[in-house]
A and B are shown apart, each in its own frame.
Chain A
Amino acid sequence: MIEDKLKELYQEFLLKHSKAPLYYGKLPVFTHHAEGFNPICGDAITVYLNLEGRQIKAVSFESASCSICNASASMMLQEINLKALNQVLQYYSSFETLLINEEFSEEVVNLSEEFEAFLGLSKFPARKACALLPWETLKKALK
């Protein structure tokens, strides 16, 4: 029961993304960056973006964070890399909606299917903040 819920939460590729996250490290050249911090658990993350006009050209992050936060950052950057800024903001609200509604509905279909993994968080509400932190930091970087 609860073990299954744990497995759901830490689905294979969530673990994979957190063990070998994509886009990890500091970009040699970047135009935007921000630090995010979750004071409750101590997760800390920095997101780097290189923009040309309203187009994302390169992304990366560095962190001292839990697996959920790292996986979320890795998947987020994969999703937004090389996209236009207005699309990025749509992704952001889709991801928020996914966490709030706890279902992979019509409203969030622009996110790739991989994101279904985050539905496992519905049983662990305290961990939603971990998944959201990279996205909030992204938003901060773009301000």
Chain B
Amino acid sequence: MLTFDFITLLIYIVHLILQILSIFFVLCVKTMFSVESVRSDFPILSSEVNGKSLIYLDNAATAQKPDCVIQAVNQYYRKENSNIHRGVFYLSEQATTAYESTRDLVADFLSAEKSSEIIFCKGVTEGINLVANGFSRSILKEGDEVLISEMEHHANIVPWQIACGQTGAILKIIPVLEEGSLDMDAYKSLLSEKTKLVAIVHVSNALGTINPVKEMIALAHAQDIPVLVDGAQSAPHMEIDVQDLDCDFFVASGHKLFAPTGVGMLYGKESWLERLPPYQSGGDMIEKVDFGGTTYKGLPGKFEAGTPNISGVIGLRSAIHYLNDLDRFGASTHEQSLLGKATAALNEIDGLRIIGTTRNKASVVSFVFDEIHAHDVGTFLDAGGISVRTGHHCTMPLLKRFKVPATARASFSFYNNESDVNALIEALHKMKVFFG
């Protein structure tokens, strides 16, 4: 009894010390999160739409860019532009160093073991296509199964439909429950020796649901099934540790991570990337070209054919530095508080229904009105300077499952503030009167 109390006390003291240290760390190394201070980092937030100051609530579609990212791209074109992995001259070496050091930075950002496990690509769509293409050419056979869920973005559906179409493999679907979470019992029973890959969204862009991917990966690995995680919506909201998740592939888009459009990252475990054939081919991905036969580069070059989006990668580097300097715990606490406030206020509105009500959610909220179509909601809000997304959010099977043709979706980033939430709610009340 006594020893038990002693251990509890010891744990408590250690915990306290750690907490004090972490606060100290935040104070010394990073500045504690303050929404007004981060807002000033994003130039677009001080612009106007329809004569009203911009209230940007479409962060799940793409995030705004901090000034440092805009400057980095600008600087690259003004002073550093040249191609990489080619010239021996000064600028090219500079560009190559900047490009390759970003790979190291991304590896750290995702807690990957090796930089060579990071492949730059256009974004999640291209990353998934790369893997799907490799699987259809070298892994999938007739009768095999690929398992995805009912809440996938089209980017994690269509490439697998095509891969299955080409190989005779079968696409299996994990159903979504009424509150917007995955049916885990169904998942367990869908895993079998036929399953060659599970491809699953980490955070749903349409519902906000955070899926228990770590648990899902463990279940799949117990049967030697690899797992691809679509991190388009998780990477902007939470810290990612691919080794802790133990996923085999992880994809994210730069533009949702405060970096430019057209650049993204694919993480793949070395053993898997070695196994898959090249995706695109041409310059840069080769070791030696001869009409008698060509040999390819090793990782990561094998998957990066042609001149890549160098300025995008430079912008991504700056975005990751920005995130690394941010108090991400504070930022995510702030996002969760916005989500909580918005959810409570939306629930007060008559005739409004939130789609996706599970407890574990990122700061995304989708809703429909009984009487007013989402598209009309979008136009009305836009007139007040409020940008929300309306439509099917590239998740048509999911909307079909909820029997709605479209939803309006507000998605919050850490630079949104309470007055953004209030403006949204006020405008929706006004809209009800307007269409009433």
| Interface residues of A, Cβ cutoff 8 Å to B | 1-3, 5-6, 9-10, 15, 39-44, 64-68, 124, 126-127, 130
Q: A2-B50, A42-B399 are in contact. List 7 more A-B contacts (CB 8 A).
A: A1-B51, A3-B383, A42-B391, A66-B376, A68-B375, A124-B379, A127-B375
> Do B405 and A42 touch across chains, with their CB atoms under 8 A apart?
yes
Is B390 interfacial (CB-CB < 8 Å)? yes
**Complex Cα distance A15/B50, Å?**
23
Can you give 30 A-B contacts (C-beta < 8 A)?
A1-B51, A2-B50, A2-B52, A2-B383, A2-B384, A5-B383, A6-B379, A6-B380, A6-B383, A6-B434, A10-B435, A39-B392, A40-B391, A41-B390, A41-B391, A41-B406, A42-B391, A42-B396, A42-B406, A43-B373, A64-B405, A65-B405, A66-B375, A67-B372, A67-B373, A67-B435, A68-B375, A68-B376, A124-B379, A127-B379
- What chain A residues lie within 8 Å of B435 (beta carbons)? 10, 15, 67
**Complex Cα distance A6/B434, Å?**
10
Is B169 interfacial (CB-CB < 8 Å)? no
- What chain A residues lie within 8 Å of B52 (beta carbons)? 2
Is B220 interfacial (CB-CB < 8 Å)? no
**Complex Cα distance A62/B373, Å?**
15
Among the interface residues B52, B373, B374, which one has the most CB atoms of the partner chain A within 10 A? B373
Question: Known: A6-B434, A66-B375. Contact between A42 and B383, CB under 8 A?
Answer: no
- What chain A residues lie within 8 Å of B392 (beta carbons)? 39, 42
A9 nearest in chain B by CB position: B379
> Do A42 and B374 touch across chains, with their CB atoms under 8 A apart?
yes
Tier of interface size on chain B: 20 to 34
> Do A44 and B405 touch across chains, with their CB atoms under 8 A apart?
yes
Question: Known: A2-B51, A3-B383, A43-B405. Contact between A10 and B434, CB under 8 A?
Answer: yes
> Do B405 and A130 touch across chains, with their CB atoms under 8 A apart?
no
B380 nearest in chain A by CB position: A6
A-B contact count (CB 8 A): 56
- What chain B residues lie within 8 Å of A65 (beta carbons)? 373, 405
**Complex Cα distance A1/B405, Å?**
31
- What chain A residues lie within 8 Å of B375 (beta carbons)? 41-43, 66, 68, 127, 130
The 10 closest A-B pairs by CB, nearest first: A42-B406, A66-B373, A66-B375, A64-B405, A42-B405, A41-B375, A42-B392, A2-B383, A2-B50, A41-B391
- What chain A residues lie within 8 Å of B372 (beta carbons)? 67
- What chain B residues lie within 8 Å of A66 (beta carbons)? 373-376
**Complex Cα distance A39/B50, Å?**
26
**Complex Cα distance A132/B379, Å?**
17
Among the interface residues A66, A68, A124, A126, which one has the most CB atoms of the partner chain B within 10 A? A66
CB distance from A65 to the nearest CB of B (A): 6
CB distance from B298 to the nearest CB of A (A): 41
CB distance from B387 to the nearest CB of A (A): 12
- What chain B residues lie within 8 Å of A64 (beta carbons)? 405
Question: Known: A1-B51, A2-B50, A65-B405. Contact between A41 and B383, CB under 8 A?
Answer: no
CB distance from B423 to the nearest CB of A (A): 14
**Complex Cα distance A44/B51, Å?**
32
Question: Please, what's the 1-or-0 string for B393-436, where 1 marks a CB less than 8 Å from any CB in chain A?
Answer: 00010010000011000000000000000000000000000110
- What chain B residues lie within 8 Å of A124 (beta carbons)? 379
**Complex Cα distance A127/B126, Å?**
30
- What chain B residues lie within 8 Å of A41 (beta carbons)? 374-375, 378, 390-391, 406
**Complex Cα distance A41/B373, Å?**
10
- What chain A residues lie within 8 Å of B383 (beta carbons)? 2-3, 5-6
- What chain A residues lie within 8 Å of B376 (beta carbons)? 10, 66-68
**Complex Cα distance A5/B374, Å?**
19
**Complex Cα distance A87/B379, Å?**
33
B372 nearest in chain A by CB position: A67
